[in-house]
Structure 1
Amino acid sequence: MKIITSPAKLMNTENSTEFLKPTTPKLIEEATFIQSYLKEKTPKYLSELMEISSKLADENWERNQKWKAKPTAKESAPAMFAFTGEVYRGLDAKTLDKKAIDYLQKNYRMLSGLYGLLKPSDKVMLYRLEMGRNFEFDHYKNLYEFWREKVTDQLNSELKTNDLVLNLASSEYIKVIDKKKLNAPLIDFDFYEIKDGKPKTIVVYTKHARGLMVRYCAENQVKTLDEVKGFNLERYRIDEKLSTDKKLVFAR
């Protein structure tokens, strides 16, 4: 089984863990290639590309100048601990035991606009490059065009017979995977809040629930879809009526 999430804009490279030996991302050469173009971009360009303030653009320009393929331990952190957005607050990796961390190292992958596909232990530096931004470089129109085949091939190389891929990524990020060439069924998820008897999507809760699902799988060493359906953290329960063979729906 492989579990996929998006990365997060919020990062902290002071986070770490004793349970993971730091590794280098598989697609680091590709990341270095992208960064060689990103490094040349002005703060003004970054501000317009990412729709961020001039202060944030300056900050990310500085990050781009400092970025390197082989950072020191002080300059980087394992990806699963470096990302600190809502999904990762739900996952709360720092409170997991070694058995759960080992499970995630084997089964969990994070998509990234800069690094492509990351294992929990892969060293990352502070960066900002969302997959959906129209970043044109070399002869590529965007990051999807650059990454789709590479990320899909890398994911396929890690899949085993009868594996499943649990898609807990956003629509922006999952588009980078070529579903037609993926060598495993892709299972989508929805997480609803019941308001006035009707299911509603609240984005921040959905992100948090995605992280909770990753945590649940790790704590319970989940191997089958039936086990995934047992997800019950923070009052979520499966909605069998709304769920299908390709999508699991949970509500609370």
Structure 2
Amino acid sequence: MKIVTSPAKLMNIENSTEFLKPTTPKFINEAELIQSYLKEKSPKYLSELMEISAKLADENWERNQNWKSNPKPNESAPALFAFTGEVYRGLDAKSLNKEAVDYLQKNYRMLSGLYGLLRPSDKVMLYRLEMGRNFEFEHYKNLYEFWKEKITSQLNSELKANDLVLNLASAEYFKVIDKKKLKAPVIDFDFYEMKSGKPKTIVVYTKHARGLMVRYCAENNAKTLSDVKAFNLEGYRIDEDLSSDKKLVFTR
């Protein structure tokens, strides 16, 4: 089984763990190439590209200047612990035991506009580069064009017979995977809040629930679809009527 999520804009490289030996991302050379072009961009360009304030653009310009492919321990953190957005608050990796972290190292991957595909142990520095931004470099029109074949091929190389891919990423990020070439069925997810008897999407809760699902799989050593369907954290339950062969829907 492979579980896939998006990264997060919020990061903290002071987080770490004794359960993971730091590793170098598979696509570090590609990340270095992207960064060589990012480094040349002005704060004004970054502000317009990512639709962020001048203050944030200055901060990320500085990150780009300081970025390196082989950072020191105090300049990086394992990806599982470096991202701190809502998905990762739901996952709450700091409170997982060694068995759960080992499960994630084997089964869990994070998509990234800069690093492509990350294992939990992969060292990352502070950065910001969303997959959906129209960042052009060399002959590539955007990051999808650069990453699609590479990420899909890497995922395929890690898949085993009868594996599933659990898509807990956003549409913006999962679009970088070529589902037609992926050698495993993809299971999508929806998480709804029931309001007056009707299912309602609340984005922040959906993100949190994605992280909860990753956590649940790790804590319960999930291997089959039946294991995943048993997800029941924070009041969620499977809705068989709304679910299908390709999508699992959970409500609360």
Q: TM-score interval w.r.t. the shorter chain? A: over 0.9
Partners of 1:212 and 1:29 lie apart in 2 by 32
Question: What pairs with 1:53-68 in structure 2 (closer than 5 Å)?
Answer: 53-68=53-68
Match of 1:152 in 2: 152
What amino acid maps onto 1:151 in structure 2? I
For 1:135, what is the secondary structure of its paired residue? Answer: coil
Match of 1:83 in 2: 83
Match of 2:212 in 1: 212
Question: What pairs with 1:87-236 in structure 2 (closer than 5 Å)?
Answer: 87-236=87-236
- Per-residue Cα deviation, 1:55-113 (whole angstroms, up to 9, x for no partner): 00000000000000000110000001000000000000000000000000000000000
Provide the TM-score with structure 2 as the length reference.
1.00
Match of 1:37 in 2: 37
Please state how far the C-alpha of 1:117 moved relative to its aligned partner.
Answer: 0.2
- Per-residue Cα deviation, 1:131-162 (whole angstroms, up to 9, x for no partner): 00000111000000000000000111100011
Please state how far the C-alpha of 1:9 moved relative to its aligned partner.
Answer: 0.0
For 2:132, what is the secondary structure of its paired residue? Answer: coil
Shift >6 Å, 4+ stretches:
none
Please state how far the C-alpha of 1:35 moved relative to its aligned partner.
Answer: 0.5
Partners of 2:157 and 2:75 lie apart in 1 by 29
Match of 1:51 in 2: 51
What amino acid maps onto 1:170 in structure 2? S
Please, which runs of 5 or more residues in structure 2 have no aligned partner?
none
* Residue 70, structure 1, aligned to residue 70, structure 2: yes
- Per-residue Cα deviation, 1:154-199 (whole angstroms, up to 9, x for no partner): 1111000110000000000000000000000000000000001100
- Per-residue Cα deviation, 1:18-48 (whole angstroms, up to 9, x for no partner): 0000000001011101000000000000000
Partners of 2:157 and 2:34 lie apart in 1 by 23
RMSD (Å) for aligned C-alpha atoms:
0.3
Provide the TM-score with structure 1 as the length reference.
1.00
Please, which runs of 5 or more residues in structure 1 have no aligned partner?
none
Match of 2:25 in 1: 25
Partners of 1:61 and 1:14 lie apart in 2 by 20
Partners of 2:171 and 2:193 lie apart in 1 by 19
* Residue 8, structure 1, aligned to residue 44, structure 2: no
Partners of 2:72 and 2:202 lie apart in 1 by 39
Partners of 2:75 and 2:246 lie apart in 1 by 40
Please state how far the C-alpha of 1:4 moved relative to its aligned partner.
Answer: 0.2
Please state how far the C-alpha of 1:232 moved relative to its aligned partner.
Answer: 0.1
Partners of 1:76 and 1:131 lie apart in 2 by 21
